Amino acid sequence: MPEPESAHGRHGSAPRRLKPAPLLFEPAAAASDEAHFFDLESIEDPRELLSRSTELVLAFRAATDRAMEFQAMAAAQLADPRRFDRLTPAVIAERAEWTEDYAKKMVEFGRELMRGGEVPD
């Protein structure tokens, strides 16, 4: 798994926020067709195809970054020593399908996010 860096730039740069393309939900019939993906297969103009597929890549990256931030905050909350039902990094790792070391990093990342501080790269 990648190191938790989220929507923050590398090497101390300012946080980056990408403007994602709208992700439209596909009908169940279209989603079950492996050749169908957000109607990209129907775009014939390569310029338009490049533009729309690039928008989707950026949208998925932004969604992944944001979801990772929520994972980290949840991990930090679950590991909070003030909770009577707190979880160990090993248990969090098992639930999230991470390694224990990665779970520890995500807990710290989540704590930084919740403090509102800068998250180190």
Gyration radius of the chain over CA positions: 18
On average, the pLDDT of the chain sits at: 80
Those residues with Cβ within 8 angstroms of residue 109's Cβ, 6 or more apart along the chain or in another chain? 4, 6, 72, 76, 119
pTM equals: 0.64
Predicted pLDDT at 20 = 52
Residue 19 burial class via C-beta count within 10 angstroms: exposed 0-12, middle 13-18, buried 19 and up: exposed
The answer, yes or no, to whether residue 29 has pLDDT greater than 70, is no
pLDDT, mean of residues 96-111: 96
The candidate with the shortest Cα–Cα distance to 40, out of 55, 27, 28, 29, is 55
Predicted pLDDT at 42 = 87
